[in-house]
């Protein structure tokens, strides 16, 4: 997503048919043992990759967060266990709280705005005439498909202080004070531009998904609502809303997951500046960890970040796993 950024969730398909039991035929014992190991050999590469490249780092993260691991320890290979010191250090650091709250507010504002704009666009698409609808859909697909960093450079160019089209347009419209105005001079203004950038990339996916949900609502229900003389508002709540509610839950979850951990756009725009005022948690993590070489402290912050993310998405993950159980068994 953003861009499509990472597609993190199964584009689930129809529930699978239960696997067949292998046809009974007389076999030697050896062949039967061979047959038994086949599925394990087949899943082995994937299993090893997931365990070594995803599982092991997850365990490591816990371990590192309990160690003092700066450049010195990294070079000497010393293991310095310091218990929860990294956590207390982070939790007593006012900067950590400031950044966490900024990240949460930033995420909440973007997710809510994205959902509202996308819902509006989806409803709009349903009622537009085909020509304008296709035009809108083409622009949405282009916005969606353009890679994150390409989009980021375009936004920087549009918001450029001297030659940016935005300042030029505003000056043209008579707002002379915007000639040479810098959109990246304060944290709030920088975050607003970044938010707009994320919004621009995130809306198409959500809008198309909701639009597909709206089209999935039974036509007869709309007709019935029309015959009953329901107002558009009533029709929306009685017919459209039930059709898109599960989809809305899913895209909310995905948006939270994506927007909370956004790194590329924030970093590419101003590296968290000016003066750290647009630093979000992922940027903080990078600055502390890789740039500052405080790996232990950064791992503790990553753990806290995961904790926050788990808390706000736990309910949905639970629902998702439960609903996929039918596919699994």
Partner 1 sequence: MKKSLSQRVSLSVVGVIAAIFFGFPTYWMFTTSLKTPGEVLSPKYDLIPFSGTIDNFTSALTKPGFLTYLTNSLIVTVGAVLCALVAGVLAAAALARMRFRGRKGFLLLVLVAQLAPVEALFIPMYLLMKDAGLLNTLPSLLLVYFATTLPFTVWMLYGFINGIPYDLEEAAMIDGCSRAGAFRRVTLPLLAPGLVTTSVFSFITAWNEFLFALVFMRDQSKQTLPVWLSSFRTAFAVDWGGVMAASVIYAIPALVFFLIVQRKLVSGMTAGAVKG
Of the candidates 7, 156, 148, 96, the one whose C-alpha atom is nearest the C-alpha of residue 283 is: 96
Residue 275 to residue 268: CA distance in whole angstroms:
15
Give DSSP secondary structure letters for 175-192: -GGGTT--TTSSHHHHHH
Interface pick for partner 1 out of 66, 115, 239, 299 (rule CB under 8 A): 299
151 touches 169 (CB < 8 A):
no
Question: Least CB distance from residue 49 to partner 1, whole Å?
Answer: 5
Interface pick for partner 1 out of 31, 105, 112, 321 (rule CB under 8 A): 321
Interface pick for partner 1 out of 32, 58, 105, 237 (rule CB under 8 A): 58
Interface pick for partner 1 out of 85, 87, 263, 274 (rule CB under 8 A): 263
Question: Least CB distance from residue 209 to partner 1, whole Å?
Answer: 5
Residues between 98 and 157 with contacts to partner 1, criterion CB under 8 A? 121, 124-125, 127-129, 132-133, 135-136, 138-155, 157
Residue 46 to residue 181: CA distance in whole angstroms:
52
Q: How many helices (H) and strands (E) does the chain have?
A: 15, 0
- For the chain, the straight-line distance linking the first and the last C-alpha, in angstroms and rounded, comes to 29
Comparing CB distances to partner 1, the nearer of 168 and 192 is 168
Residues between 80 and 99 with contacts to partner 1, criterion CB under 8 A? none
Residue 197 to residue 2: CA distance in whole angstroms:
9
Residues between 22 and 51 with contacts to partner 1, criterion CB under 8 A? 22-23, 36, 38-40, 42-43, 45-47, 49-50
Residue 35 to residue 40: CA distance in whole angstroms:
10
Comparing CB distances to partner 1, the nearer of 73 and 98 is 73
Question: Least CB distance from residue 225 to partner 1, whole Å?
Answer: 9
Using CB atoms within 10 A of its CB, is residue 230 exposed (0-12), middle (13-18) or buried (19+)?
middle
Interface pick for partner 1 out of 88, 169, 185, 234 (rule CB under 8 A): 169
Comparing CB distances to partner 1, the nearer of 105 and 165 is 165
Give DSSP secondary structure letters for 87-105: HHHHHT-HHHHHHHHHHHH
Comparing CB distances to partner 1, the nearer of 104 and 136 is 136
**Count of positions on this chain that bind partner 1 (CB under 8 A):** 119
Interface pick for partner 1 out of 24, 26, 30, 163 (rule CB under 8 A): 163
Of the candidates 282, 302, 236, the one whose C-alpha atom is nearest the C-alpha of residue 106 is: 282
Question: Least CB distance from residue 105 to partner 1, whole Å?
Answer: 19
Considering only the stretches 80-88, 90-98, 106-114, 283-291, report the one whose residues sit in contact with partner 1 under the rule CB under 8 A.
Answer: 283-291
Question: Least CB distance from residue 205 to partner 1, whole Å?
Answer: 8
Using CB atoms within 10 A of its CB, is residue 295 exposed (0-12), middle (13-18) or buried (19+)?
buried
Residue 253 to residue 214: CA distance in whole angstroms:
19
Site string for partner 1, 200-229 (x = CB under 8 A): x--xxx--xx--xx--x---------x---
Question: Least CB distance from residue 119 to partner 1, whole Å?
Answer: 13
């Amino acid at each position: 997503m953003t861009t499509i950024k990472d597609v993190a969730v199964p584009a689930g398909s129809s529930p699978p048919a239960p696997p067949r039991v292998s046809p009974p035929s007389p076999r030697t014992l050896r062949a039967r043992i061979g047959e038994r190991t086949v599925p394990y050999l087949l899943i082995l590469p994937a299993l090893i990759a997931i365990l070594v490249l995803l599982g092991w780092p997850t365990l490591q993260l816990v371990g590192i967060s309990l160690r003092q691991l700066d450049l010195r320890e990294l070079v000497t290979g010393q293991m310095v266990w310091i218990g929860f010191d990294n956590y207390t250090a982070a939790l007593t650091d006012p900067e950590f709280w400031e950044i966490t709250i900024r990240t949460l507010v930033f995420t909440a504002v973007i997710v809510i705005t994205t959902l509202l704009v996308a819902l509006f666009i989806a409803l709009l698409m349903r009622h537009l005439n085909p020509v304008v609808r296709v035009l809108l859909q083409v622009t949405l697909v282009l916005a969606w498909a353009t890679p994150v960093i390409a989009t980021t450079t375009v936004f920087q160019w549009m918001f450029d202080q001297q030659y940016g089209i935005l300042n030029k347009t505003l000056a043209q419209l008579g707002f002379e004070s915007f000639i040479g105005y810098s959109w990246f001079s304060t944290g709030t203004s920088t975050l607003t531009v970044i938010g707009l950038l994320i919004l621009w990339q995130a809306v198409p996916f959500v809008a198309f998904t909701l639009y597909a949900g709206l089209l999935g609502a039974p036509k007869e229900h709309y007709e019935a609502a029309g015959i009953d003389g329901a107002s558009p508002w009533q029709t929306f709540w009685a017919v459209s809303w039930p059709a898109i509610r599960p989809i809305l839950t899913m895209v909310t979850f995905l948006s939270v997951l994506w927007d909370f951990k956004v790194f590329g756009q924030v970093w590419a725009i101003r590296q968290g500046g000016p003066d750290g005022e647009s630093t979000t948690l992922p940027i903080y993590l990078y600055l502390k960890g890789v740039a500052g070489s405080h790996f232990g402290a950064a791992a503790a912050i990553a753990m806290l970040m995961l904790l926050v993310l788990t808390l706000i998405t736990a309910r949905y993950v639970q629902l998702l796993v439960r609903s996929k159980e039918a596919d699994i068994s």
